[in-house]
Amino acid sequence: MTFKKRMFFMVFIVGILACHKDHVSENLELEIPPHFPDIQYNLKDNAITNDKFNLGKKLFYDPILSADNTISCGSCHIQTSAFTHHGHSLSHGIYDRIGKRNSPPIMNLAWNNSFMWDGGIFNLDLLSISPITNHAEMDETLPHILQKLKSYPNYPSLFKNAFGQDSITGTLFLKALAQFMLMCTSTHSKYDSFILKKTELSPLELQGYQVFKNHCNVCHREPLFTNHEYLNNGLSISSFNDLGRGLITSNVNDNYTFKVPSLRNLSYTAPYMHDGRYLNLEAVFDHYSYGVQPTPNLAPILKNRIPLDSNDRKSLIAFLNTLNDKSFLFDTKLSAP
């Protein structure tokens, strides 16, 4: 190779390396769109920085967080499925163990103040302990993970860069993971552009928006598409007899109530409901139209069900599709390093 050719080749390789964005270097900020409410997370306790975020991302995708080093958070929360476990109605974890709930998206969590289908966790900084120690998920312990991290190459210096201290502690580990999750924001759907007056909706989408406002918005409230409540929507009681929020509060009035999930990115998050019982939106519409059961604690508003005819369904699908946000699925900043 001539000198000139060799130089060209070098520049080419350096260019490829520079384009591969597995390490974020632009200054990170949590983006709060003008039409969103205030966030619930206290950023003062865990200000976003590039080094903390990059460490959190590495941890999120690292299988050493599980007992046998095979399962990472990213195994059940896959970015191209809006951080759900596509194709699995119930979560599928370590040693092929099956959990009893569907893996929800990791999305817009800064606006939440309780987490999980039953709201059993109220602090994002503590959340990761739950999947790590769950028998059917990662079956690991925090002290053992810290021991592993200390002995792996890179981690001690990554912690040092992120937090400016030599020790790797549980608190710092959990805060780094929380930073990655906070940055998983989905705010660039067609609906968002429409609300910000940057784009129009088609007549069919607008018709569906009206159906949505008439029947769904009370619970799946705009713009996050949840009212953050725990309710019962009349699903027939599963063979697990999962009491949902009742398990956490021991209040019989909370039995069989579950978090009202967001409806953003539904095209990528099937199957639906806390146990993934419905494979598609038609089945969900069938449920609200005639499947609602008189379960204990059924939300009163659903007693008369929500009859949806074929026109309602067609337009509702068109509207719900405007809540899809491809930029979230393919944001390289959030992808596995």
Shortest separation between residue 158's beta carbon and ligand HEC, angstroms:
17
Q: Which is nearer to ligand HEC, 4 or 210 (CB)?
A: 210
The answer for residues whose C-beta is within 8 angstroms of residue 106's C-beta and 6 or more apart is 77, 83, 181, 184
Shortest separation between residue 248's beta carbon and ligand HEC, angstroms:
10
Distance CA 163, CA 177 (A): 13
Residue labelled with tokens 């596509």: 86
Q: Which is nearer to ligand HEC, 118 or 254 (CB)?
A: 118
Shortest separation between residue 140's beta carbon and ligand HEC, angstroms:
9
Taken in order 282, 327, 219, 247, the sign of the CA dihedral is positive
Shortest separation between residue 271's beta carbon and ligand HEC, angstroms:
7
Peptide bond connecting 37 to the previous residue in cis, omega within 30 degrees of 0: no
Shortest separation between residue 112's beta carbon and ligand HEC, angstroms:
6
DSSP 3-state of 231: strand
Q: Which is nearer to ligand HEC, 56 or 192 (CB)?
A: 56
Q: Which is nearer to ligand HEC, 162 or 177 (CB)?
A: 177
Q: Which is nearer to ligand HEC, 11 or 141 (CB)?
A: 141
Q: Which is nearer to ligand HEC, 110 or 284 (CB)?
A: 284
8 A C-beta contact, residue 30 and residue 183: yes
Shortest separation between residue 244's beta carbon and ligand HEC, angstroms:
7
Residues contributing to the site for ligand HEC (CB under 6 A): 65, 71, 73, 75-77, 91, 93, 99, 101, 103-104, 106, 109, 115-118, 127-128, 131-132, 137-138, 177, 181, 215-216, 218-220, 231, 233, 235, 258, 260-261, 263, 266, 269, 272-274, 284, 288, 299, 301-302, 306, 316
Q: Which is nearer to ligand HEC, 134 or 161 (CB)?
A: 134
Question: Percent helix, strand and coil across the chain, each rounded to 5?
Answer: 45, 5, 50
First to last CA, the chain: 33
Q: 181-208 in b/e burial notation, b at 16+ Cβ within 10 A?
A: bbbbbbbebbbbebbeeeeebeeebebb
Q: Which is nearer to ligand HEC, 16 or 221 (CB)?
A: 221
Shortest separation between residue 175's beta carbon and ligand HEC, angstroms:
12
Extended strands (E) in 194-325? 230-231, 258-259
Shortest separation between residue 143's beta carbon and ligand HEC, angstroms:
15
Distance CA 37, CA 98 (A): 36
Neighbours of 283 (CB within 10 A): 15
Q: Is 228 left (phi over 0), alpha (psi -120 to 50) or beta?
A: left
